[in-house]
Structure 1
């Protein structure tokens, strides 16, 4: 596995603390002592778009106070139980660094969240995002039910045609077991304003999808 030395090594310099985490088969946020309670009627969406610190941070900045209850970072899409950050960073567990969004569907639609996903990162680079290289940095949508799959595929097709010139390589796959990342990763950029941010994480000024 080849990694970009400056970004990868700067991330490995962070302490590898551990926390008690639970597997949640359908992707529900949970397992960490800091997990927020999920309000009744809330919905969830799970996406991967490279370094999860920046994905969580940019979703909170855009949707905070507008119906987003919580955004947590974690690991999904792999075949190893209770993966650690160190293990995921090797690219050998099969997991993606991902963000799980808990939101009020009466205020935010799943379509809005997926359209934003295609604006806030580069979905055209396979197994990489910015300088970060490896399958853990892949672009992916982990859908939780048939309606989410339908919406995700529709938005992906339109974004591919209208925004990204047919170059999207994002995976669309069913959500499997979700593992919360270690506590120190949660709200990482709020706690560490000078921390690493992937340069591809910014909101593109695209026209509305038709």
Structure 2
């Protein structure tokens, strides 16, 4: 959370901002015309879209997702620490590793939720009150096929003009993912009354339920003690 986010929290406390006054609206978008071939084994998608608290919180409520871990991707292992990543000079982005069952949900549907409700893909190196390359919109493709599907979908959304502005999302291939510190895991669920969560992230979960009711589950899948840090 940057100084801009701190300022937002101060404003929330002073003026009693409610979610509807500050939250981004969901954008209803078409499903991807192309998708990965059906698979039988568990798959992983790594996505960055601003502060990882909200992205993790959204996907923890998605049916078919078996785990969603907050972390860092794009830089070296030695700089994969919250205080260091916050400098914006490590190459890392706050990201979420989403493990999912491809028999229940496809990679393309994961991307549709990511672009529609998890973040605003038109913002360059920022999301909401947070600024810096560590908050960039990036698909960290795990293989060439994921990169192909993501690239095709970004082009498709650009052609439909769904967002009314150019999509800033980049694709970075086969960059390592490093889990974040334990205190960042399950942050939305554990801190539902924290002003930043109330203003920026709980509305995203509400949008998931509204726009993708068939994919929403009320009980989130949590990391719990599976990640140390």
- Fold match (TM-score > 0.5): yes
What is the alpha-carbon distance in structure 2 between the residues aligned to residue 167 and residue 4 of structure 1?
A: 24
Gaps of 5+ in 2: 11-39, 212-229
Structure 1 unpaired stretches of 5+: 11-39
Q: 2: distance between equivalents of 1:129 and 1:108?
A: 26
The question of 1:67 aligning with 2:68 is answered no
Q: Which residue of 2 aligns with 1:98?
A: 95
2-structure distance, mates of 1:8, 1:92: 24
Equivalent residue for 1:199? 200
Q: 1:141 aligns with which of 139, 142, 145?
A: 139
Corresponding residue for residue 153 of structure 2: 155
Q: 1:80 touches 1:93 (CA, 8 Å); kept in 2?
A: no
Please state how far the C-alpha of 1:175 moved relative to its aligned partner.
Answer: 2.8
Give 1:175's aligned residue.
174
Which of 81, 86, 91 is matched with 1:84 structurally? 81
Indicate the SS of the match to 1:99. Answer: strand
Aligned pair count?
174
**CA separation of 1:9/1:122 partners in 2, compared to 1, >3 Å: closer, same or farther?**
same
Q: What do residues 180-209 of structure 1 show as CA deviations (whole Å, max 9, x unaligned)?
A: 000111101111112323637634888xxx
Matches of 1:105 and 1:169 in 2, distance apart? 27
Q: Which runs of 4+ in 1 moved over 4 A?
A: 7-10
Question: How far apart are residue 58 of structure 1 and its match?
Answer: 1.0
Aligned position for 1:41: 41
The question of whether the paired residues in 2 share the 8 Å contact of 1:8 and 1:132 is answered with no
Cα shift at 1:142: 0.6
Could you say what the CA RMSD is over the residues aligned between the two structures, in angstroms? 2.5
TM-score, normalised to structure 2, is 0.69
* Deviation (angstroms), 1:6: 1.8
Equivalent residue in structure 2 for 1:130, among 120, 125, 128: 128
TM-score normalized with structure 1 length: 0.75
Q: CA, structure 1 residues 181+9, in 2 after alignment: closer, same or farther (shift >3 Å)?
A: farther
In the alignment, is residue 53 of structure 1 matched against residue 53 of structure 2? yes
The structure that is helix-richer by fraction is 2
CA distance in 1, matches of 2:109, 2:101: 12
CA distance in 2, matches of 1:94, 1:52: 16
